């Protein structure tokens, strides 16, 4: 925040504010039309088969245009120096260990340029309290380190995350290597089974990060950093999580008029979303849910969904109990 006399003067002067906003808009307009951005959009749209490898190659092409990215950064720095109220027209990104700008975003690919401060990493490591995790993000991420900061990174692997993922078979993650990385080095992490930890760093790290969404796993997995055991999972699909929350809200609001829409969302590719929605449907109108519940019990691709659906049929629908001949003798 820029406090004090400069801020007071800017707030009191509508013309200064207009100039600041105009500079931001002008910068955004010009850079959105530059080949650096438009060519990548065009090539992504033209991909006949947008696999993660194909999208990754396009991300490399963007990062190779270092002169154009440098020109962009020089312009942003110059504009910020000229007017302290100029804001780069790119989403700022920050976490405990890094700051950056989101340079490009498309449903298939996001590219950011960021800095991880050596002091930020050190502070996080020295002030860490309680249990911590090694995360497998479920998506492919590429890092190109323009300045590697003398960092040492450890590499980890876990059983691959698939659409039939079972927590009971997630096992443990394991260390596969540890080494120092060099300036200019590129690291590709397939988050479906790979992860890494920055063990220590000597100076600030400057890097491109590309997140590639095609072929993503349905979930991210978390392993305890001490025991290395699986401890939890979360969805990699933000839209799917929003659908789950909206369906729960509709059930709480007793919006039965939404039933047809809710039934449509049972076609989710994610097993956890399908079952979440089925539970909500059963709570709203069990008879209406019954045909889909039967189909789930018989055909769902995920074994836990099939088992939960069958158990639900037996618990709540008398006619759906297994035939007597199939019951086990308890004697």
Footprint of other proteins on 210-229 (CB under 8 A): 211, 218-220, 222, 224-225
Place of tokens 């089974």: 193
Q: Which two tokens stand for residue 61?
A: 């092409």
CB of 4 to other proteins, least distance (A): 29
153/197 Cα distance (integer angstroms): 6
CB of 239 to other proteins, least distance (A): 9
For 154, list phi and psi in degrees, rounded to 5: -105, 145
For 202, list phi and psi in degrees, rounded to 5: -90, -35
Residues forming a β-bridge with 156: 175, 195
Size of the site for other proteins (CB under 8 A): 78
Judged by CB under 8 A, the chain residues 280 through 299 that form the site for other proteins are 280, 282-288
Among 88, 149, 191, 214, binds other proteins (CB under 8 A): 191
Lay out the site mask for other proteins across 156-185 (x = CB under 8 A, - = otherwise): ---------xxxx-----------------
173 dihedral zone (left: phi>0; alpha: psi -120 to 50; beta): beta
Lay out the site mask for other proteins across 55-94 (x = CB under 8 A, - = otherwise): ------------------------------------xxxx
Query: How many CB atoms within 10 Å of residue 91?
Result: 12
| 209 vs 265 by CB, closer to other proteins | 209
CB of 50 to other proteins, least distance (A): 18
Taking CB under 8 A as the rule, does residue 132 contact other proteins?
Answer: yes
144/147 Cα distance (integer angstroms): 9
């Amino acid at each position: 925040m820029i406090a004090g006399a400069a801020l007071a003067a800017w707030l009191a002067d509508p013309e200064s504010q207009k100039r600041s906003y105009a500079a931001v808009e002008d910068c955004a307009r010009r850079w959105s039309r530059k080949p650096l951005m438009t060519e990548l959009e065009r090539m992504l749209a033209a991909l006949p088969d947008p696999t993660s490898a194909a999208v990754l190659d396009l991300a490399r092409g963007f990062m190779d245009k270092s002169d154009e990215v440098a020109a962009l950064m020089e312009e942003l720095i110059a504009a910020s120096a000229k007017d302290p109220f100029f804001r780069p027209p790119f989403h700022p990104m920050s976490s405990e260990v890094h700051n950056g700008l989101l340079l490009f975003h498309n449903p298939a690919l996001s590219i950011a340029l960021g800095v991880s401060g050596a002091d930020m990493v050190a502070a996080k490591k020295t002030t860490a309290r309680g249990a911590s995790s090694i995360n497998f993000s479920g998506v492919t991420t590429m890092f190109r380190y323009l300045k590697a900061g003398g960092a040492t990174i450890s590499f980890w692997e876990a059983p691959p995350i698939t659409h039939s993922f079972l927590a009971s078979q997630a096992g443990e993650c394991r260390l596969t290597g540890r080494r120092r990385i060099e300036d200019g080095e590129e690291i590709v992490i397939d988050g479906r089974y790979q992860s890494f930890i920055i063990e220590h760093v000597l100076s600030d790290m400057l890097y491109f990060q590309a997140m590639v969404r095609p072929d993503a796993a349905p979930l991210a997995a978390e392993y305890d950093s001490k025991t290395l055991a699986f401890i939890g999972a979360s969805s990699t699909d933000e839209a799917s999580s929003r659908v789950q929350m909206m369906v729960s809200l509709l059930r709480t609001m007793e919006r039965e008029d939404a039933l047809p829409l809710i039934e449509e969302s049972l076609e989710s590719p994610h097993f956890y979303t399908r079952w979440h929605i089925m539970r909500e449907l059963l709570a709203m109108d069990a008879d209406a849910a019954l045909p889909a519940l039967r189909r789930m019990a018989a055909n769902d691709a995920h074994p836990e969904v099939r088992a939960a659906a069958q158990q639900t049929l037996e618990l709540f629908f008398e006619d759906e109990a297994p035939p007597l001949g199939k019951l086990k003798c308890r004697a």
